A and B are shown apart, each in its own frame.
Chain A
């Protein structure tokens, strides 16, 4: 089974721009979560999607948004980029069984200059 795939691996953007990151979950997984990882704050939960609906949301400003498609693939968008948005953005998927753990992709490294 292929793992969670995230594209692109690296991105460099300038302040004020917007960015879209993509995630393909493990086949059969319908839940996709996004996390932001920075050296100072660690892994912070952004949101979770299940069957094209946002099921859960973390404490991030409205500039951070996401969506999920009918094939469970997910995208997250960050508008009006700020320097502090530089981070590793991780996508994770999980199965439908109770207590299924999260499986992570290798992330997209976003640098905002």
Chain B
């Protein structure tokens, strides 16, 4: 089935630094989603991308839908301590039955040192 390769697996940065993470797939996706999960909580949607080449921002977060439709990037500028968490990329996988299920990358664990 479709797999999403997310990197890096973890990042340790200083407050104020910019962060970049990415997700790649061997298959084409029509939608890319980025979620963040805080400890003890469920993933929360950060950004949704629906068009190849699309660049979308949400505050200090910027995500891009790769032109090949096989990759996506998430950037966080001027990181702050509350950016700590696990970031997941996700995309819909069309099943043989014609319905969709969301597949996730393994996540990027971000630690921000004050």
Binding site for B on A (CB under 8 A): 4, 6, 33, 42-43, 45, 48, 55-56, 58, 90, 92, 99, 101-107
Given A92-B42, A106-B41, 6 more contacts at CB 8 Å?
A: A42-B105, A43-B104, A56-B99, A99-B31, A99-B50, A102-B33
* Chain B interface category by residue count: 20 to 34
- Are A104 and B42 interface neighbours, CB within 8 A? yes
- Cα A101 to Cα B88 in complex, Å, equals 14
Partner of A101, one of B45, B101, B106, B107: B45
- Cα A66 to Cα B24 in complex, Å, equals 32
Partner of B101, one of A6, A58, A99, A106: A58
- Cα A48 to Cα B104 in complex, Å, equals 15
- Are A90 and B31 interface neighbours, CB within 8 A? no
- Are A103 and B45 interface neighbours, CB within 8 A? yes
- Please give me the residue from chain B that is nearest to A102 by CB atom: B102
Task: Determine the chain B residues whose CB is within 8 A of the CB of A99 once the complex forms.
Answer: 31, 48, 50
- Cα A6 to Cα B43 in complex, Å, equals 13
Give the number of residue pairs across the A-B interface with Cβ within 8 Å. 50
- Please give me the residue from chain B that is nearest to A90 by CB atom: B42
| B40 sits at the interface (CB 8 A) | yes
Which residues of chain B in 85-109 are interfacial with respect to chain A, using CB atoms and an 8 Å cutoff? 88, 90, 95, 97, 99-107
Task: Determine the chain A residues whose CB is within 8 A of the CB of B43 once the complex forms.
Answer: 43, 90, 104
- Are B95 and A56 interface neighbours, CB within 8 A? yes
- Please give me the residue from chain A that is nearest to B33 by CB atom: A101
Shortest 9 CB-CB contacts between residues of A and residues of B: A104-B42, A43-B104, A56-B99, A42-B106, A45-B101, A106-B42, A55-B99, A106-B41, A104-B43
